[in-house]
Amino acid sequence: MTLHLRQAVISDLPAIYRGEEAYIRQWEPQHEAAWRSQTERHLTQWVENFERMTVAVLNNQFAGYSLWARAGDCAELYTLHVADTLRRNGIGTALLEGFVKAASGQGFTRLCLGVRPDNPAKGIYERAGFQCTGTAANGYLTYERHS
């Protein structure tokens, strides 16, 4: 298997939209209507941070993506998604390592993210050195790492 990380291109946006939609449907179905009503806000966030959107390609197949942005003095991972059928192949870890490298390369020493307490992806973050720092108002666990 050949895994390649690359900068997102505009034609990736439909697949990214479907990935975000799949997440909402799986983990937060009660918020799907609200999420859909904010489509323009999501698109704006993606476009404004497009240079920080990474796509994972496995054997020439779109496999996942990540997006991060500046949040004060922190580089915040907004989303990291791997296609259901391709999970447990190191794609999430590679995307996370790409985020760490890119953010550190832009001078960030503080990296942060949030994750649902019941999302198994939190194990990837912990293995990468992120430490839980609390719980946000939305119920997500907050994680931070200094590089």
Please state the domain count of the chain: 1
Residue 46 DSSP SS3: helix
CATH number at residue 105: 3.40.630.30
Residue type, 3: L
Q: CA separation (Å) from 48 to 42, 51, 70, 139? A: 10, 8, 11, 26
Summarize pLDDT for 55-72 with one digit per residue, the tens: 999 988 999 999 999 999
pLDDT band at 108 (very low <50, low <70, confident <90, very high): very high
Parent domain of 126: 3-146
Give dist(CA 103, CA 109) in Å, integer.
8
Predicted pLDDT at 49? 87
pTM over 0.75: yes
